[in-house]
Structure 1
Amino acid sequence: MKLSRKQSVIRRHRRVRKKVSGTPDRPRLCVFRSHKHIYAQVIDDVAQNTVAAASTLDSEVKSDLKSTSTCEASSAVGKLVAQRALEKGVTKVVFDRGGNLYHGRIQSLAEAAREAGLDF
């Protein structure tokens, strides 16, 4: 039986989450990608709280973009989430690609976050 695309993403995400966990010293940069938008959160799994978050639904990002489902939009979200995390004092994170392949929009978000100052 062949798995659907969504089932494959869920399987990969579970496999990644077995190894990746956020700590207060090094929280987890979690990415969720839908067809229209992309969301990123910096999460401390020990305290179970979100340190910083950004998405293409934020007015800062949405006003500058023609489309929210492009690599350009993802890099804008990556810069914004890195900026917000740095304001909270977070410099090192663990990257959680959310079961998606490290390619396209996920890769552009990660590279933009690195350029903005996050270390992972």
Structure 2
Amino acid sequence: MNKNKSNGHKVYIFKSNKHIYAHIIDNQTNQILTSSSTLSKEISNNTKYTKNCKTAALVGKNIAIKLKKLGIQTIVLDRGKNIYHGQIKALADATRKEGIIF
């Protein structure tokens, strides 16, 4: 059984030159269910800098809260071509800290 298809949801992380984005995607329909980024109102109002580990952790915490509201506890982490280090690790750790499993 393919592990990516077993739970039906993944978090896709994308980094631009200035911002970091996290999208929750339903694997069966390929639809974005919810998302969070450094451009989100909840995060951009609370931070001075837009792209560092601290703001990545805020994005991770925010996406975890949104996942809980949707009733999703288990996801697959899709980091794209990014290595698991720095901002990606901070986002993932903050999401796990809120109780999301991946």
**TM-score, with structure 1 as normaliser:** 0.78
For residue 80 of structure 1, the aligned residue among 54, 57, 62 is: 62
Q: How many residues align?
A: 101
Residue of structure 2 in register with 1:58 after alignment? 40
Q: Does the alignment pair 1:70 with 2:52?
A: yes
Alpha-carbon distance, 1:50 to partner: 1.5
Q: Call closer, same or farther: CA 1:111–1:56 in 2, change over 3 Å.
A: same
- Coordinate RMSD, CA, aligned: 1.6
Residue of structure 1 in register with 2:26 after alignment? 44
Are the equivalent residues in 1 in contact too, given 2:24–2:34 (CA < 8 A)?
Answer: yes
Q: Call closer, same or farther: CA 1:119–1:26 in 2, change over 3 Å.
A: farther
Q: How does 1:1-120 map to 2 (within 5 A)?
A: 21=4, 25-120=7-102
Can you give the 5+ residue segments of structure 2 that lack an aligned partner in the other structure? none
Structure with higher Rg: it is 1
Q: Distance in 2 between matches of 1:20 and 1:41?
A: 19
Q: Call closer, same or farther: CA 1:44–1:65 in 2, change over 3 Å.
A: same
* Regions of 4+ moved over 4 Å: none
Are the equivalent residues in 2 in contact too, given 1:30–1:98 (CA < 8 A)?
Answer: yes
Q: Distance in 1 between matches of 2:3 and 2:38?
A: 25
Are the equivalent residues in 1 in contact too, given 2:8–2:27 (CA < 8 A)?
Answer: no
Higher strand share: 2
Can you give the 5+ residue segments of structure 1 that lack an aligned partner in the other structure? 1-18
Q: Distance in 1 between matches of 2:80 and 2:45?
A: 26
Q: In structure 1, what residue type is equivalent to 2:101? A: D
Deviations 1:11-70 (A, max 9, x none): xxxxxxxx87456x3411110011210000111121121122100001110011110111
Which deviates more, 101-110 or 41-50? 41-50
